[in-house]
C-alpha cells in the first residue's frame, strides 16, 4: 500500500511539473505597422505594413513571442556613373519590401485595464529592393515595448514601439517600428 501511495504521489508531482511547462495563457496580435528605415545613406524610408505576433505565457509575467512583419514603400538609393572628370552620383527611387522574423522573451504585468510590456527579440530579416539593387538577408534584433488596453475580457487594443536593427548590404540599419492593432487573449 505504501508503494502504491508513493507511486501515485510521484506521478501527481511529475504531472504538475510537466503541465507547468505548457503555456496556459497568451495572446495573438495583428495590426497596422509603420516602419522608418535607413537602407540607403541618402535618406530614411517611411514604409507601411502589418505586424503579427503570438505570445505564450510560461509564468504570469513572462512569455515567449514569435513576431512577424512586412513593410512596403520606396527609398532613394545613390546611382553613380563614371563621367569625366569624375564620378557623377544622383539618387534613384526603388520599391522596398522588408520582412522580419523575430523571437524572444516578453515581460508584462497587469494594472487594471492596462498591461505594459517590454521585449527583446532576435531573428532574421529579409529585404527585396527593385531597380537593380537586389535582395539581402541578415540577422535582426528588436528591443521595445508597449501597452495593451483591455476592451472586454478576451479583447484588447495594443500600442507598441520597437527599435529594430538589421545589417543589410554590409551596413547597419537603425530602424523604428510603431504598431497598433487588436489583441485576442486566451
Using left for φ > 0, alpha for ψ between -120 and 50, and beta otherwise, residue 112 falls in left
pLDDT tens figures, 166-182:
999 888 999 999 999 99
Of 13-27, 72-86, 172-186, highest mean pLDDT: 172-186
**Model confidence band, residue 155 (pLDDT cutoffs 50, 70, 90):** very high
pLDDT at 48: 96
Residues 6+ apart with CB under 8 A from 32: 48, 49, 50, 51, 179, 180, 181
The model's pTM = 0.79
The mean predicted confidence, pLDDT, of the chain is 86
Cell of 63: 512569455
Nearest residue to 40 (alpha-carbon basis) of 99, 102, 86, 90:
90
∠ at Cα 134 (67, 166), nearest 5°?
A: 35
Q: Give φ, ψ of 104 to 5 degrees.
A: 165, -175
Amino acid at each position: 500500500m505504501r508503494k502504491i501511495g508513493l507511486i501515485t504521489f510521484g506521478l501527481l508531482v511529475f504531472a504538475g511539473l510537466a503541465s507547468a511547462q505548457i503555456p496556459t495563457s497568451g495572446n495573438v496580435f495583428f495590426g497596422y505597422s509603420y516602419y522608418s528605415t535607413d537602407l540607403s545613406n541618402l535618406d530614411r524610408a517611411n514604409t507601411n505594413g502589418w505586424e503579427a505576433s503570438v505570445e505564450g505565457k510560461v509564468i504570469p509575467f513572462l512569455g515567449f513571442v514569435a513576431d512577424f512583419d512586412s513593410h512596403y514603400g520606396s527609398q532613394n538609393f545613390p546611382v553613380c556613373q563614371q563621367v569625366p572628370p569624375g564620378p557623377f552620383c544622383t539618387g534613384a527611387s526603388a520599391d522596398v519590401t522588408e520582412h522580419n522574423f523575430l523571437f524572444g522573451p516578453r515581460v508584462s504585468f497587469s494594472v487594471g485595464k492596462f498591461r505594459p510590456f517590454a521585449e527583446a527579440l532576435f531573428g532574421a530579416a529579409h529585404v527585396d529592393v527593385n531597380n537593380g539593387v537586389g535582395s539581402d538577408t541578415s540577422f535582426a534584433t528588436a528591443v521595445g515595448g508597449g501597452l495593451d488596453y483591455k476592451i472586454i475580457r478576451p479583447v484588447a487594443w495594443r500600442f507598441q514601439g520597437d527599435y529594430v536593427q538589421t545589417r543589410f548590404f554590409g551596413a547597419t540599419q537603425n530602424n523604428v517600428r510603431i504598431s497598433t492593432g487588436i489583441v485576442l487573449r486566451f
